[in-house]
């Protein structure tokens, strides 16, 4: 452990709020780590790119030189972009360096099979492992309004609960198997994907009849479909506005494939699989990878109005 990291751990020894490590400072991870700082935690942070680290250090965080240093404080949370990055950063060598009783709470969306392999890898190194993917965007993370899905050994979930409650408006205990939390998150994202496609088709139909689609989205939110999915994404689709991306099409396609992989592994078949996969693949082919995933609606729009 570096002198700075050791100082953070020592300085928080008498505090009920910390220290904790945090690995992965993208838009979500930065918002989460910032929230923990606001809640009085000593936060030891690591990220591959330095800009996000510098911002959090200016707000009171301590920089770790390696993932192992972040894990050395005893409890580390991570919010990484995909499962391959989780495996790369929390490799056997890093986990073997963890102190006795260490806990890793993985908040990324990973596949069910990956969650099982991660649990086994951590167990072999004597590191406790909890899966805690979340529902919500960076503003919700920054204000402590996420919905947290937590699964793992109940004692380990309870150890993580104070931090999870600082990040979320509600912590849902999903089960003893970490993969169960990831399957629930995958199921939620698969439902959002269906909502995006349904909105695209309804809005395209109404556009063809010269109906005010902004009014249509407002009507949805005021009647049968209140909430951020139909109002937020519906508004973006009606306006054709997909930047800045809250969640990219590329990441949406990743989550679609996680859902399809989980279905196959569970012996489940989805009638809508071919259509949804085709829409995403066409959107990616058309250069929409970095646009918000609501932009898949443009595939439906273009197909409805073929060029002569």
Paired sense of beta strands 20-23 and 43-46, if any:
parallel
The pLDDT tens digits for 190-226 are: 999 999 999 999 999 999 999 999 999 999 999 999 9
Give the pair of three-digit tokens for residue 112: 């069910």
**Three-state DSSP state, 214:** helix
User: Under CATH, to which class is 3-176 assigned?
Assistant: alpha beta
pLDDT the model gives residue 238: 98
The pLDDT tens digits for 42-67 are: 999 999 998 999 999 999 999 999 99
pLDDT at 6 over 70: no
Q: How confident is the model at residue 305 (pLDDT cuts 50, 70, 90)?
A: confident
**Three-state DSSP state, 283:** helix
Catalytic residue among 98, 185, 236, 258: 185
For residue 166, the Cα-to-chain-centroid distance in whole angstroms is 17
The pLDDT tens digits for 83-101 are: 999 999 999 999 999 999 9
Single pTM value for the model: 0.90
Domain residue extents for the chain: 3-176, 183-304
Q: Decide if 265 contacts 225 (C-beta within 8 A).
A: no
Q: Which helix (H) or strand (E) holds 31?
A: helix 27-38
Mean pLDDT, the chain, rounded, equals: 94
pLDDT the model gives residue 168: 98
Distance CA 29, CA 177 (A): 24
Burial of 92 (0-12, 13-18, 19+ CB in 10 A): exposed
Give Rg (Cα) of the chain. Answer: 21
The pLDDT tens digits for 255-274 are: 999 999 999 999 999 999 99
Q: Determine whether 282 is an active site residue.
A: no
Provide CB contacts within 8 A for 54, sequence distance 6+: none
User: Under CATH, to which class is 183-304 assigned?
Assistant: mainly alpha
Distance CA 288, CA 114 (A): 27
């Amino acid at each position: 452990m570096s002198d700075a990291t050791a100082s953070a751990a020592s300085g928080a020894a008498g505090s009920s709020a910390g220290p904790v490590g945090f690995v992965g400072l993208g838009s979500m991870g930065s918002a989460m780590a910032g929230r923990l700082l606001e809640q009085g935690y000593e936060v030891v942070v690591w990220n591959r790119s330095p800009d996000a680290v510098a911002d959090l250090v200016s707000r009171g965080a301590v920089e770790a030189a390696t993932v192992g240093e972040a894990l050395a404080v005893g409890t580390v949370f991570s919010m990484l972009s995909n499962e391959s990055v989780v495996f790369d950063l929390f490799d056997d060598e890093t986990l073997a360096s963890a102190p006795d009783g260490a806990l890793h709470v993985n908040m990324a969306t990973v596949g069910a099979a990956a969650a099982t392999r991660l649990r086994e890898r951590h167990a072999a190194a004597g590191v406790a492992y909890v899966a805690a993917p979340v529902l919500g965007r960076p503003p919700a993370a920054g204000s402590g309004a996420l919905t947290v899905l937590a699964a793992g050994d109940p004692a380990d979930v309870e150890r993580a609960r104070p931090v999870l409650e600082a990040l979320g408006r509600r912590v849902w205990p999903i089960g003893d198997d970490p993969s169960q939390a990831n399957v629930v998150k995958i199921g939620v994202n698969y439902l959002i994907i269906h909502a995006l496609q349904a909105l695209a088709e309804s809005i395209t139909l109404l556009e063809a009849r010269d109906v005010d689609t902004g009014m249509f989205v407002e009507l949805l939110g005021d009647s049968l479909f209140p909430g951020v999915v139909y109002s937020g994404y519906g508004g973006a689709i009606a306006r054709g506005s997909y930047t800045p991306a809250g969640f990219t099409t590329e990441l949406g396609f990743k989550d679609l494939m996680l859902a399809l992989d989980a279905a196959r592994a569970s012996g489940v078949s989805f009638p809508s699989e071919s259509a949804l996969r085709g829409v995403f693949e066409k959107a990616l082919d058309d250069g929409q990878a970095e646009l918000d995933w609501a932009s898949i609606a443009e595939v439906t729009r273009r197909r409805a109005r073929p060029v002569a």
